[in-house]
Structure 1
Amino acid sequence: MPLHTGEALVLRTYRLGETDRLVVLLTRDRGKKRGVARGGARSRKRFGGALEPFTHVRVAYQEREQRDLVRLDYADVLGSPLTAGGEACTYASYFAELLDEWAPENDPQERLFRLGVAVLDALQTGVGAERLARYFEYWLLRLQGVYPSVHACPQCGEALQGGAVLEPRGHWFLCRQCAPHGQGVAMPGSALQFLVEAAQVAPAALGDVNVSSEALVQVAAAHRLLLVWHLDREPRAARVLREINL
């Protein structure tokens, strides 16, 4: 059985029998893998906190031909949302769930991996989780090629600096003149400006971006519509976050 070592992000874990855990990993160089952590459910001594969602780890695993599951030998923590405390762990579960939804099996997705690690690093340094969530959603959708333009109305070509509406059927940002009356999610100019700046900075620099809490609420509403449209459902962790923030 060949032994593979490298970096990974933990996406999900499930109890497997009395003593083991099934672990979903996004590896840096070999894509998403599912594996068994022997003893991972019985004792924390072997894996410690390395199996928590959105933990950045260095792993070693063995892969057998014609077997879907790899065998996880060890996982050493390189970064953990547990160090951020508070609401960070709830947001971390949300980030991990979205990565799991979009990352294909056994297909290297280094850009998704680097996005996850960069957001985790920013979370650990104290960047606001709400800002990071909007940034993460934006880049996740953009990397999949499904984020609408925030610069110009696709119908008339008018610049959108003054605000726009996310049209619920076409899923693009329209200027207020072209948008159907009373439909869609209104996006003020400040919300669009946040997205423009998010395209140009690392997540660690988001704390320096000037954006109001009201604008972030509008971005969240627009992103929820886009995510539900492309996933055909709302992520479970998103519902938990919304209930917490009520």
Structure 2
Amino acid sequence: MEWTDDAIILGTRKHGETSVLLEVMTRGRGRHMGLVRGGRSRRLQPVLQPGNSISVTWRARLESQMGQFTTELIHSRAAKLMERPLGTYGMQFIAELTRLLPERDPQPYIFQALSVIVDEFEEGDVAGELMVRFELALLAELGFRLELDQCVATGTYDDLIYVSPKSGRAVCRTAGKPYHDRMLALPSFLRGEVSSNRLNYAELAQGFALSGFFLERNIYQPAGLTPPDMRQSFIDAVKRDLSLDD
């Protein structure tokens, strides 16, 4: 069996003396593993770095086998990602998130989102917003989509400022006021509000609290997992980046 696809590298593990196990997110075949013979060579080592875009050709006798990859570099961004904590922590964290998806399950929307965010780890507000949106997209792909465009209590589309922790649906100001201490905040950037100013950390913190609550309750806890430390490291990097601009 053989196929070729575009991919973004998530990580590698040493295999034997000279090879590596390569983990990628592909455009059409989801998260996939494969052996790269000679992957630790001087020629391939700079190519097989997290964040780089490559073309992979996978070969195996049976579909159920690990198989082998041959690779060709499309776009190198790993060195740039490692220049700043935003990129270093961001790439490691987004790889951890992507590993929550079933292996070999096509996820074209997640691949497209990943393709965007790996080029946006330079500004804290942009990187933070995209990461929150990526977490929400991941929840949706895993069957836990939040409905944030209409009030669950009144049906209105206006003045949505809360999210019900029970239903994962938006709640308007009037309906949510009596229960405000039990509600999650719906940040402005997820309400479709457009601002000419950069997002501040308080808004992004609301977004991370929102996505983090549902990730922990619906994904991590049922699987007996804890959120990766890299998530907080990335959030701290976002906070530091924004504080430098104040």
2:208 to 197, 207, 220: 220
Structure 2 residues without counterparts, runs of 5 or longer: 221-225, 241-246
- CA deviation map 1:75-122 (0-9, x unaligned): 4142424324312121012122212212x3323222221111122234
TM-score by length of 2: 0.77
Deviation, structure 1 residue 154? 0.8
Cα-Cα RMSD: 3.1
Deviation, structure 1 residue 65? 0.9
Q: 1:57-72 alignment to 2 at 5 Å? A: 57-65=54-62, 67-72=64-69
Once residues 89 and 8 of structure 1 are traced to their aligned partners in structure 2, the CA distance between those partners, rounded to angstroms, is: 19
Residues 140 and 82 (structure 1), Cα distance of their counterparts in 2 relative to 1, 3 Å cut: farther
Secondary structure at the counterpart of residue 13 of structure 2: strand
Number of positions where the alignment pairs a residue of Structure 1 with one of Structure 2: 230
Report the residue type matching 1:93 in the other structure: Q
Once residues 195 and 131 of structure 2 are traced to their aligned partners in structure 1, the CA distance between those partners, rounded to angstroms, is: 13
The answer to whether the 8 Å contact 1:81/1:124 transfers is: no
Residues 126 and 75 (structure 1), Cα distance of their counterparts in 2 relative to 1, 3 Å cut: farther
Once residues 5 and 126 of structure 1 are traced to their aligned partners in structure 2, the CA distance between those partners, rounded to angstroms, is: 35
Once residues 51 and 11 of structure 1 are traced to their aligned partners in structure 2, the CA distance between those partners, rounded to angstroms, is: 9
Q: 1:39-118 alignment to 2 at 5 Å? A: 39-40=38-39, 42-43=40-41, 45-65=42-62, 67-84=64-81, 85-86=83-84, 87-102=86-101, 104-118=102-116
Partner of 1:33: 32
Secondary structure at the counterpart of residue 60 of structure 1: strand
TM-score by length of 1: 0.77
Deviation, structure 1 residue 69? 0.8
Residues 160 and 142 (structure 1), Cα distance of their counterparts in 2 relative to 1, 3 Å cut: farther
Residue 179 (structure 2) pairs with residue 180 (structure 1): yes
Secondary structure at the counterpart of residue 96 of structure 1: helix
Residues 29 and 61 (structure 1), Cα distance of their counterparts in 2 relative to 1, 3 Å cut: same
Residues 159 and 34 (structure 1), Cα distance of their counterparts in 2 relative to 1, 3 Å cut: same
The answer to whether the 8 Å contact 1:151/1:161 transfers is: no
Once residues 158 and 125 of structure 1 are traced to their aligned partners in structure 2, the CA distance between those partners, rounded to angstroms, is: 34
Once residues 219 and 236 of structure 2 are traced to their aligned partners in structure 1, the CA distance between those partners, rounded to angstroms, is: 20
Partner of 2:219: 231
Once residues 243 and 124 of structure 1 are traced to their aligned partners in structure 2, the CA distance between those partners, rounded to angstroms, is: 14
Partner of 2:223: none
Secondary structure at the counterpart of residue 39 of structure 1: coil
